[in-house]
Chain A
Amino acid sequence: MSCVETIQNYAFRSIGIGERLLPKADFTLCDHFVLIGSGLIWNVYFAVLALCSGFFFATAVALARNSRLAILRKPAQWFIFVFRGSPLFIQFFIAYEALTLLPRNGLEIDLWFAQFTAETRWLTRAWAGALIVLFLNTSAYSAEIFYGALRSVPKGDLEAADAYGFTGWMKFRKIIWPTMLRLAWPAYTNEAIFLTHATTLVFFSSFPAWQQKGDALYYASYLADKTFNPFIPYPILAFYFVLLSLGIIGLFGLAYRRLNRHLPGTAGGRLRPRPFMVR
Chain B
Amino acid sequence: MFEFCSDPKSLEGLRWFACYFTTGKHLLFYQSFLVVIALMLVTVPCALAMGFAGALAARSHVAPLRWIGKGYSALARGVPDIAFFLFVPLALDQGLEWLRHKTKCPDWDLPVRQGNDFVVCAQAKLPLSSAPQWQHELYGVSLAVIAFAFVFGAFAAFVLSGAMNAVPKAQLETGEAYGMTRRQITWRILIPQMWVYALPGLSNLWMILIKATPLLFILGVEDIVYWAREMGGTKTQAYDYPHGDWRLWYFLGLLVFYLSLTKVSEVFLARLSRRLSHGQATMAGEEMRRAA
Contacts and interface: CB of A to CB of B under 8 A. Distances in A.
A238 B78 CA distance: 8
Contacts of A87: 210-214, 258
Contacts of A90: 214, 225, 251, 254-255, 258
Contacts of B214: 87, 89-90
A112 B230 CA distance: 43
A121 to B, nearest CB: 17
A277 B258 contact: no
B259 A275 contact: no
Interface residues of B, number: 49
A29 interface: no
Given A87-B258, A276-B204, A94 B248 contact: yes
B247 interface: yes
A125 B77 CA distance: 29
Interface in B98-132: 113, 115-118
Given A87-B213, A229-B118, A279-B208, A217 B83 contact: yes
Nearest to B228: A93
B201 A276 contact: yes
Contacts of B208: 277, 279
B18 interface: no
A207 interface: no
A230 B90 contact: yes
Contacts of A245: 77-78
A231 B248 CA distance: 37
A88 B213 CA distance: 11
Contacts of A86: 211, 255, 258-259, 262
B148 interface: no
Nearest to B249: A97
A230 B115 CA distance: 14
A277 B155 contact: yes
Given A88-B211, A90-B225, A230-B90, A275 B158 contact: yes
Contacts of A91: 255
Interface stretch (A4-12, A66-74, A198-206, A253-261): A198-206
Contacts of A227: 116
Interface stretch (A143-151, A168-176, A177-185, A218-226): A218-226
Contacts of B200: 276
Given A87-B212, A87-B258, A231-B91, 19 more contacts: A82-B255, A90-B214, A90-B251, A93-B254, A94-B248, A94-B255, A97-B245, A200-B83, A217-B82, A217-B86, A224-B86, A224-B87, A224-B90, A230-B90, A234-B91, A242-B75, A276-B200, A277-B155, A277-B205
Interface of A: 25, 81-82, 84-91, 93-94, 97-98, 101, 193, 197-198, 200-201, 204, 217, 220-221, 224, 226-231, 234, 237-238, 241-242, 245-246, 275-279
24 contacts: A85-B258, A85-B263, A87-B210, A87-B258, A90-B254, A93-B225, A93-B228, A93-B247, A94-B251, A94-B252, A97-B251, A200-B80, A200-B83, A217-B86, A224-B87, A228-B117, A229-B118, A230-B90, A237-B79, A238-B78, A241-B83, A242-B78, A245-B78, A279-B207
